[in-house]
Chain A
């Protein structure tokens, strides 16, 4: 199984993919995860490859072999279309972070949906902020999206909650577990 998470620096992708990797290890799989640190933290694109099965070789997903692309930001989704095939599922968070050229008025923010549709029809939009609703936890959208993703994967809710309980710091634990469960309750359209 190949899962790609995409977004921008500061959206909490690394933590979300850490949790996914931990869950899959405890579920009994060999897991590999790869992302790029360093300069990507300074406002750049962030992607995380998570792969699991009986035995995983490459830490990065080969082109056209991504099963699920979980995108935290609309434009970033389009950067990874080469990883998609016609069976790939794409979950896109309704969130737009303007890149510098858009901020400077040189580019317009593109509509990426038609482009992704050329690869796969299985596209689902989720509004993480709406799901967050009254939780008052603006930085918790990553865990909400992880909740949405979790409905497509085999492990049971209890294992996810166990890992979240273990990996999240005291201050943010309860509100994020609630966010995760709200995300899990989202019906993908």
Chain B
């Protein structure tokens, strides 16, 4: 039976067909749908959201140690969080197949960088597979588990946004039986203290030599010889772009780009006149091919930044400019916080109190945009609290108004340790936890504060206030960010307090059913409106300026923030 699946759905299907028992992940675009598909459709697999990616990989490794096939899924920057276990896992005995999916994001559609995670395969010394289509995403998932068990190693399955989120026709097959968990003790292979790890390291090096032989013969790397005047080595979606641009060229398609099939590469290079390496981001393949002493071209013409496309590949290899019409300047549509978003009131209150706001990863990062201009730093998950602490230490307590904002899911992910440090080291920064009861940016996933698991079971609902106090923070307050004046007052109190302070800004995401707004559109009394623009300063997509007066469009959900702020009392309706 054939079905249209996205790359992520196909990986989930592959996990089912491969007999996977356990899957763990933290949501992150473009990887999120893998676990959602498993949880929604394949209930025989235990699937869970973990607080962060390190936990996900370690949980999956636990499954593997118990002898069952296990999957960990994350976006590219998530692998940084999981890098600690990843580097040592290859030293340990992998019993049940262990596959790590890394979904990279060239072009930064929804990320803070565009790092190339293929380097992790080389860094951790593990094999890597890279599908070019949804069909391969499914097939390679199954294959990755076989390789993992045959070579007793974790396997990296690397996708990019275009593979994870593109859809294609996939032929479905029957799932195989899941393995039963079995308890075995292998302390010499599972306890990584120096004496054991020292003995395990040479095994990794031997394994990599065997995997190189495997790479040459396994059928995952395929030579397609046509016109030999142009030969292209490629992998992932870049292969599709190159095929589109040069359908008559000869190809070496690398389904297993690490370790590289050296013999095949030499053979292929010998058959073609002009050899090009077409890959997105870094010259990962190109540098290794050059290290074999083979002359080839690639990144001297193909950009290391952003996505490729059929046109970019064509223009690079044929040395012709991309054809392009004269563009008119079109007004952009940058993403913005939703109408009625509870973050808006809090960010506005901080801005009005003239705070320097260390941001974090989540919807509130969009508060960076004008007219709010409310985010001053954003680096990675959990960094904002630590920035704020470091900055306020640099200035000395009470000198500058340094604040950090962090969402509830990001707080659970990697904010807790930062807050502990703030309390431990006598910090003075004000930390605002934007508790909207969900992981909003990736499409409303549950987390340890929501009381529901990925599989829909009722579970614990961590009380953030209790947790914050347990970490040693004594000044803690809760606010409703829709009550803008009370919120501003509380921010002022926090800034004036001695020592670290935490404000929990509590209101559910406006996309949740539990949202704290009326849902009804407010109206401006144009007689009363003085055109002062105070409401426009909120940056709400529901507020427009028409004939120099405020106008509320149908996007309004009635949160009432603008109504409370309006100095002329011109905004009314059902709040």
Contact = CB atoms under 8 A, between A and B. Distances in A.
A155 interface: no
Contacts of A79: 330
A183 to B, nearest CB: 22
Interface in A100-154: 100-105, 107, 109-110, 112, 115, 118-119
B228 interface: no
Contact of B330 (A18, A35, A78): A78
B169 A25 contact: yes
B46 to A, nearest CB: 26
Given A33-B167, A103-B541, A63 B330 contact: no
A36 B163 CA distance: 11
B399 interface: no
A127 to B, nearest CB: 18
Contacts of A104: 371, 536, 544-545
Given A42-B363, A75-B331, A110-B328, A32 B167 contact: yes
A34 B323 contact: no
B480 interface: no
A44 B335 contact: yes
B336 interface: yes
A38 B30 contact: yes
B323 A62 contact: no
Interface residues of B, number: 51
A31 B336 CA distance: 33
A79 B333 CA distance: 11
A21 B331 contact: no
A103 B311 contact: no
A187 interface: no
B275 to A, nearest CB: 20
B4 interface: yes
Contact of B309 (A44, A60, A81, A100): A60
Contacts of B366: 42
A158 interface: no
A21 B167 contact: yes
B332 interface: yes
A44 B333 contact: yes
Contacts of A22: 4
A29 to B, nearest CB: 9
A30 interface: yes
B124 interface: no
The residue in A99, A103, A104 that gathers the most chain B C-beta atoms within 10 A of its C-beta is A103
Contacts of A81: 325, 327
B244 interface: yes
Contacts of A64: 323
A162 interface: no
B115 interface: no
A40 B366 CA distance: 12
Contacts of B541: 43, 100, 103
Contacts of A37: 29-30, 110, 165
Given A34-B167, A64-B323, A59 B240 contact: yes
Nearest to B314: A62
Given A25-B4, A42-B337, A62-B311, 6 more contacts: A58-B237, A59-B162, A79-B330, A81-B325, A81-B327, A103-B545
Q: Closest 10 interchain pairs by CB?
A: A38-B110, A59-B166, A42-B335, A38-B29, A58-B244, A34-B166, A99-B331, A62-B310, A57-B243, A33-B167
Interface of B: 2, 4, 29-30, 109-110, 133, 161-162, 165-169, 237, 240-241, 243-245, 247, 309-311, 314, 322-325, 327-328, 330-338, 363, 366, 371, 441-443, 536, 541, 543-545
17 contacts: A18-B4, A33-B168, A38-B442, A41-B335, A42-B338, A44-B334, A45-B333, A57-B241, A58-B237, A58-B243, A59-B166, A60-B241, A63-B309, A100-B332, A103-B541, A103-B545, A104-B545
Interface of A: 8, 18, 21-22, 25, 30-45, 56-60, 62-64, 75, 78-79, 81-82, 98-105, 107, 109-110, 112, 115, 118-119
